[in-house]
Chains A and B, each alone.
Chain A
């Protein structure tokens, strides 16, 4: 393996901002940094850099030592035969003779890249330590990523590295890089083989097909956002004109696409612009799903409630499930899937659309109160140009069309929402596409099938019988990071390079292109899709770097030959976005016969007889998405929003429907749709719509890896192509068995305690200084002490949690886990109450008298609140937990003897204990050893641990400030949770600094201390939840 970056002769990536902060190099413009150029061109340096990590490059995971890992994860040994055949070369360690200029041991460098998920890209900044990626942050220059730094305290961009928000998936990409279960070799019929053999066999196959113009050659990809890949596919299709290209992914936009075609007769991409004042979500989980999820969360929920100025945006959510978006709505209406259609039509009718349908659902004593429709209409129409209607991807095309119509009618287009050319290279119904492929295979028309990524054998619509069909294809090839269900049915499996090992490109929702650049040379023999396609086209030795760079060189010189490509390229790599690549803004017109088109669509929706049995609502999972993240321990152990369930999926069901079917939480129930049936445990969720079952996709994997195998139940067998999102249940039966569900929170009521204070914006504005809902009952008298007050003269670190902004998305939880090397403990340990997350999001239901079936939900992130009078400190017999003079409650791990008294005495129960040797696999698995953040100690068995306010980040900033002889600036330190939060619900800083954001927030009249009556004087305080309900709905 050549040096550091594989085949390219020099490292062509550009660091964002590294330790060169002090060197002055950063004052240069982004596109011309001398230090960076030297770095790039200094090959000698790179060679000396090489052996440092190349040793890991071809290292097999050590087979016997993984046993411990297995015990914890409790998975199968299915993949064990696939590895362990590479000899470890004897290597000599050579120190840096000439150290690379930017590489200072102990100082991380950041590189920009981007990931693709949910129909768009997310810009990432990846922290690397000595060439080893360890942590993901968001890239705020990317259009889909909101800035993480508090707006008020933003320091000059040149001063600090700016981070953007991320979500749980982006954070967890980090873990998958070092997943020892990733495929490491090329397999032919399950046996290890070589790229050369593959290539020769591929050539033979293609040469045989060439005379027919590629007749019989099929290519299956996920929807392609990569311009380079699209160019390569076009080239291949030119070469083989009779070959066919199919696209499929289970979480698809078929209905979005069809809706746009209904409304405009054309394909459009939807991009959200200015922050709206009134939002109507028609079954859209717009904070948890979709390419704009982070930006929408920021625009709609990212405000600090203020007594004056603009009101908080008002969010109406009409939904057929329980989503995080619904939990933070100002008004939420749980309805059946058809009810959403009825509601959309009812609103549209009042706004002026002449289409009937679904009237049965609206009215007094009906599922949709007339008051609701009237209020929404009144609010939308009084906020013309400042409102937006968003339809969920699962809703039928008619709802999308109506949403478009409403946005047009309300004058929102061009204000809060705009239309652009679609960013997909080819917009098509993926269900139809894979259906056609399956038909062709069954008809024996397919001789060679090349599958790039995806896992159709697992997640294709059940009626395509794709898995069975695939096994019959004579020459099938699957490029994949795991030897998964699809690979198992293909003749060839090619290990795919991880995102952080790959060169590629992708596009954001507004079309902006990002270059995906690698952070590390491939740990295994991974290939990218670009390299495989190049091989198909006859050049097996092309590197994806050359392919991607070549594509952009050609494209940019074609459009604007006068510009210096080198400079553009480097800027794009540095910034993480390619400037000026947004797709064209379109101004589509509604089809002339809109009403007729809609009416024709509406009729069948309500014509079908409504069964007495519930309807299924299929949803992407907040942890494993469509199943692709199933082997991520971080995500599997992440408590799912609301249920706080880990390591499982369950049927979400409303209390009333559960009662009707005599189902209780934990009962294993059999759900049938058509001739298919699956069994999985039920979970009763207050507020879930009646007569609806939410099923999360992505579980029950057979070949996910040791972590994900057999976790949960696979519900894809219920999912037909024609009913991707909603299906009628034909039978629901309690099997009489029960399952043990590992949840991290068992009690969701506040037991009459004032844990979350909440009020309305109107109440807040009535008494801005002393809102009525802030008055504490019980102990309010000041506490006095015989002891003198401790003075905090220097920094006084503190945090404020804006509970109005918390959407419960879990990004902070995974960010904390990644930053602080928090172990995964497995289902059994979670079930015993031993999860290790330093930061948890408590969810409480607050019953509403007017609507008992629709309780209000509050999310409360809780981590160590760093009490000034910390109950944990005096009880430790060995002084392992002590107070710093900046107010941090510090854990000295190697002093801890593990009495656990501190945890008992912690009223917030934020301390976590290593009951077992949870980090055992780190010692034994060489690949996993690359993952941890080197700035944070790995904790041993028998010690206590907890949130440190990311003290390593504080100290890094302190060192930087000390070198420059100044104070740490406000906003310079972002804790891991704060940086990840899409809504800036968490603010950290110096409480002694009167100008700091955190100080301002701590002085808000909404600020209160959780359990303040205990006189613990927590440094982390909370802002009361303020919602902005409409007066007419109270």
Chain B
């Protein structure tokens, strides 16, 4: 990857050439170390915090009354909880993809976005992990999913995709957390060194685990980071493949399809990158990070979205084709029902959001227009949520026996739990922005080194 020629404008390079080691460090660390809180940050955190309280209230009410407070019933026994779970896990995909795969592929443009993408991954996975717990009829027994030495002598049932899910998401969350933390260590040391007050010095000091920046440290660090990247890479594919097994191994028409794993992974990358954009665009505007998260970055991410979106579109096509080719009336009916049934509006909205509108990304000036990109990222986020809704709810509501067909209507508590997790997610993001460097300082310094080296 080159950083272009001398004639390149700033917007086409990955890092402005004016930056030196010191300016990079100053710029990024100051967000954390500044004394004053930005007003926008306070308002944002307050709103997020209020929504987080709504989540806690919803959860308290849920535990008091039972899952009956939601709109689920028979036949639609999975509703918003599972839709939101899959959606959040999907969003949580971008982090690892950017951190691990792009690292291994030596895509250097990942450097300025990987840190907050990883944080976003963690927070999204945290939100996602709430739902399988909350949706249990008896959440107090969630640990029965874990293979622990029970006095009853019972083990989980390893044939169930939910158990695979339990392990896949658990592994993914652990690996992502490790990866993120290991990546943070040199920066934590920087913050420790630059803090002027006692408390941050101690706090960052403890978290930095004695990092002194010696050559040996760096050597070990690079090895560990690469190894972790290698370990995390299969997870990118495995998590959402396994999540898709929840559906693909079921016999419900609209679920029972072998195309699900790749198409879920593509969908996850699609929504993950959309969420990265949703966060990156306001972030770089608010904190003046245009030098680090350049238009070039946005352009690259838009291209990834376009590619993964096309894979998703191909998935829809394949699904439709196999339903028709199966010759099974229930399978074909589920396709027809999506397009013409009571939820047809949502289906066509999904097609618009996920397939039609994102075709604008073919145009370079759309990819370079932050407003358009931001709007598109929201559209894709909505589309991917709708996709999960249609897979979960619309498949279930009309399956094999017409006598059981029914309609699903979410209740207030469905919405409040969903919106509450969005609140939790944004609250965690706001805290992260203020407490940790949103962009990897040391990796950006490497970029300075490289860009200066190349041009001289």
- Which positions in A face B, CB cutoff 8 Å? 745-753, 755, 778-779, 829, 832-834, 840, 842-844, 860, 862, 871, 874-879, 895-901, 903-905, 907-909, 911-917, 940-944, 1011, 1013-1014
Q: CB within 8 A of B68: which of A840, A871, A916, A940?
A: A916
Within the assembled complex, what's the spacing in Å between the Cα atoms of A860 and B138? 33
26 A-B pairs whose Cβ atoms sit less than 8 Å apart in the complex: A747-B405, A751-B402, A753-B402, A833-B73, A834-B68, A834-B73, A842-B401, A860-B403, A871-B251, A874-B157, A875-B161, A877-B144, A877-B145, A896-B137, A896-B138, A897-B138, A898-B67, A899-B136, A900-B78, A903-B77, A904-B78, A905-B250, A905-B251, A911-B74, A915-B66, A941-B137
The answer to whether B68 and A915 touch across the interface, beta carbons within 8 angstroms, is yes
The answer to whether A834 and B252 touch across the interface, beta carbons within 8 angstroms, is no
Please give me the residue from chain A that is nearest to B141 by CB atom: A897
The answer to whether A862 and B401 touch across the interface, beta carbons within 8 angstroms, is yes
The answer to whether B77 and A913 touch across the interface, beta carbons within 8 angstroms, is yes
Within the assembled complex, what's the spacing in Å between the Cα atoms of A879 and B406? 28
Contacts of B163 in A (CB 8 A): 877
Within the assembled complex, what's the spacing in Å between the Cα atoms of A752 and B154? 44
The answer to whether B74 and A912 touch across the interface, beta carbons within 8 angstroms, is yes
Please give me the residue from chain A that is nearest to B165 by CB atom: A877
The answer to whether A898 and B329 touch across the interface, beta carbons within 8 angstroms, is no
Closest 5 CB pairs of A and B: A898-B137, A942-B137, A915-B68, A833-B73, A900-B77
B338 at interface by CB-CB < 8 Å: no
Report if A746-B401 is in contact (Cβ < 8 Å); known contacts: A898-B67, A899-B136: no
Binary interface profile of B, 370-411, with partner A (CB < 8 Å = 1, else 0)? 000000000000000000000000001001111111110000
B249 at interface by CB-CB < 8 Å: yes
The answer to whether B159 and A874 touch across the interface, beta carbons within 8 angstroms, is yes
The answer to whether B74 and A898 touch across the interface, beta carbons within 8 angstroms, is no
The answer to whether B78 and A833 touch across the interface, beta carbons within 8 angstroms, is no
Contacts of A755 in B (CB 8 A): 401-402
The answer to whether A832 and B77 touch across the interface, beta carbons within 8 angstroms, is no
The answer to whether A917 and B66 touch across the interface, beta carbons within 8 angstroms, is yes
The answer to whether A907 and B74 touch across the interface, beta carbons within 8 angstroms, is no
Please give me the residue from chain B that is nearest to A911 by CB atom: B74
Chain A CB within 10 A, most for which of B141, B251, B333, B401:
B401
Contacts of B157 in A (CB 8 A): 874, 876-879
The answer to whether B327 and A942 touch across the interface, beta carbons within 8 angstroms, is no
Shortest distance from the beta carbon of B416 to any chain A beta carbon, whole Å: 18
The answer to whether A1014 and B402 touch across the interface, beta carbons within 8 angstroms, is no
The answer to whether A915 and B73 touch across the interface, beta carbons within 8 angstroms, is yes
Contacts of B404 in A (CB 8 A): 745, 909
Chain B facing A: main interface SS: loop
Binary interface profile of B, 206-228, with partner A (CB < 8 Å = 1, else 0)? 00000000000000000000000
The answer to whether A778 and B73 touch across the interface, beta carbons within 8 angstroms, is no
Report if A904-B160 is in contact (Cβ < 8 Å); known contacts: A749-B402, A842-B403: no
Report if A746-B405 is in contact (Cβ < 8 Å); known contacts: A900-B77, A941-B137: yes
Shortest distance from the beta carbon of B54 to any chain A beta carbon, whole Å: 22
Q: List 5 other contacts, CB 8 Å, given A901-B162, A1014-B400.
A: A749-B402, A877-B145, A879-B156, A897-B136, A904-B75
Contacts of B138 in A (CB 8 A): 896-898, 940-943
Report if A903-B403 is in contact (Cβ < 8 Å); known contacts: A871-B251, A877-B157: no
Interface residues of B in 400-446 (CB under 8 A from A): 400-407
Report if A901-B328 is in contact (Cβ < 8 Å); known contacts: A862-B401, A896-B138, A907-B401: no
The answer to whether B156 and A878 touch across the interface, beta carbons within 8 angstroms, is yes
Shortest distance from the beta carbon of A752 to any chain B beta carbon, whole Å: 6
Binary interface profile of B, 118-141, with partner A (CB < 8 Å = 1, else 0)? 000000000000000001111101
- Which positions in B face A, CB cutoff 8 Å? 65-68, 71-78, 135-139, 141-142, 144-145, 154-157, 159-163, 166, 246, 249-252, 327-330, 333, 396, 399-407
Report if A904-B137 is in contact (Cβ < 8 Å); known contacts: A877-B162, A909-B74, A915-B73: no
The answer to whether B251 and A1014 touch across the interface, beta carbons within 8 angstroms, is yes
Contacts of B77 in A (CB 8 A): 900-901, 903-904, 913
Shortest distance from the beta carbon of B402 to any chain A beta carbon, whole Å: 4
Q: CB within 8 A of A878: which of B135, B145, B250?
A: B145
Within the assembled complex, what's the spacing in Å between the Cα atoms of A779 and B404? 22
Within the assembled complex, what's the spacing in Å between the Cα atoms of A752 and B396? 19
The answer to whether A844 and B403 touch across the interface, beta carbons within 8 angstroms, is yes
Within the assembled complex, what's the spacing in Å between the Cα atoms of A862 and B400? 13
Contacts of B396 in A (CB 8 A): 904
Please give me the residue from chain A that is nearest to B70 by CB atom: A915
The answer to whether B75 and A753 touch across the interface, beta carbons within 8 angstroms, is no
Contacts of B65 in A (CB 8 A): 916
The answer to whether A913 and B137 touch across the interface, beta carbons within 8 angstroms, is yes
Q: CB within 8 A of A897: which of B137, B161, B327, B401?
A: B137
Shortest distance from the beta carbon of B453 to any chain A beta carbon, whole Å: 54
Please give me the residue from chain B that is nearest to A907 by CB atom: B400
Please give me the residue from chain A that is nearest to B166 by CB atom: A877
The answer to whether A875 and B162 touch across the interface, beta carbons within 8 angstroms, is yes
Within the assembled complex, what's the spacing in Å between the Cα atoms of A895 and B143? 12
Contacts of B136 in A (CB 8 A): 897-899, 942
The answer to whether A875 and B250 touch across the interface, beta carbons within 8 angstroms, is yes
The answer to whether B154 and A879 touch across the interface, beta carbons within 8 angstroms, is yes
Shortest distance from the beta carbon of A72 to any chain B beta carbon, whole Å: 11
Please give me the residue from chain A that is nearest to B246 by CB atom: A901
The answer to whether A903 and B402 touch across the interface, beta carbons within 8 angstroms, is no
Contacts of B135 in A (CB 8 A): 899-900
Contacts of B139 in A (CB 8 A): 897, 942
The answer to whether B327 and A747 touch across the interface, beta carbons within 8 angstroms, is no
Within the assembled complex, what's the spacing in Å between the Cα atoms of A920 and B135? 21
The answer to whether A877 and B251 touch across the interface, beta carbons within 8 angstroms, is no
The answer to whether B75 and A914 touch across the interface, beta carbons within 8 angstroms, is no
Please give me the residue from chain A that is nearest to B159 by CB atom: A874
Q: CB within 8 A of B137: which of A747, A876, A907, A943?
A: A943
Please give me the residue from chain A that is nearest to B152 by CB atom: A895
Within the assembled complex, what's the spacing in Å between the Cα atoms of A905 and B74? 11
The answer to whether B327 and A778 touch across the interface, beta carbons within 8 angstroms, is yes
The answer to whether A907 and B75 touch across the interface, beta carbons within 8 angstroms, is no
Contacts of A842 in B (CB 8 A): 401, 403
Chain A CB within 10 A, most for which of B137, B155, B249, B330:
B137
Within the assembled complex, what's the spacing in Å between the Cα atoms of A904 and B162? 13
Contacts of B400 in A (CB 8 A): 753, 907-909, 1011, 1014
Shortest distance from the beta carbon of A751 to any chain B beta carbon, whole Å: 5
Chain B CB within 10 A, most for which of A832, A843, A907:
A832
Contacts of B161 in A (CB 8 A): 875
Within the assembled complex, what's the spacing in Å between the Cα atoms of A480 and B34? 82
Within the assembled complex, what's the spacing in Å between the Cα atoms of A212 and B404? 67
Shortest distance from the beta carbon of A952 to any chain B beta carbon, whole Å: 23
Within the assembled complex, what's the spacing in Å between the Cα atoms of A1011 and B399? 12
Contacts of A912 in B (CB 8 A): 74
Within the assembled complex, what's the spacing in Å between the Cα atoms of A898 and B162? 12
Shortest distance from the beta carbon of A867 to any chain B beta carbon, whole Å: 11
Within the assembled complex, what's the spacing in Å between the Cα atoms of A878 and B396? 22
Q: CB within 8 A of A942: which of B66, B72, B249?
A: B66
Contacts of A778 in B (CB 8 A): 327-329
The answer to whether A895 and B401 touch across the interface, beta carbons within 8 angstroms, is no
The answer to whether A915 and B72 touch across the interface, beta carbons within 8 angstroms, is yes
The answer to whether A903 and B74 touch across the interface, beta carbons within 8 angstroms, is yes
The answer to whether A877 and B75 touch across the interface, beta carbons within 8 angstroms, is no
Contacts of A752 in B (CB 8 A): 329
Shortest distance from the beta carbon of B388 to any chain A beta carbon, whole Å: 15
Report if A871-B137 is in contact (Cβ < 8 Å); known contacts: A878-B145, A897-B144: no
Contacts of B73 in A (CB 8 A): 832-834, 915
Within the assembled complex, what's the spacing in Å between the Cα atoms of A871 and B400? 13
The answer to whether B72 and A908 touch across the interface, beta carbons within 8 angstroms, is no
Contacts of B403 in A (CB 8 A): 745, 747-748, 840, 842-844, 860, 862
Within the assembled complex, what's the spacing in Å between the Cα atoms of A896 and B406? 25
Contacts of B72 in A (CB 8 A): 900, 915
The answer to whether A834 and B166 touch across the interface, beta carbons within 8 angstroms, is no
Within the assembled complex, what's the spacing in Å between the Cα atoms of A842 and B160? 31
Shortest distance from the beta carbon of B41 to any chain A beta carbon, whole Å: 39
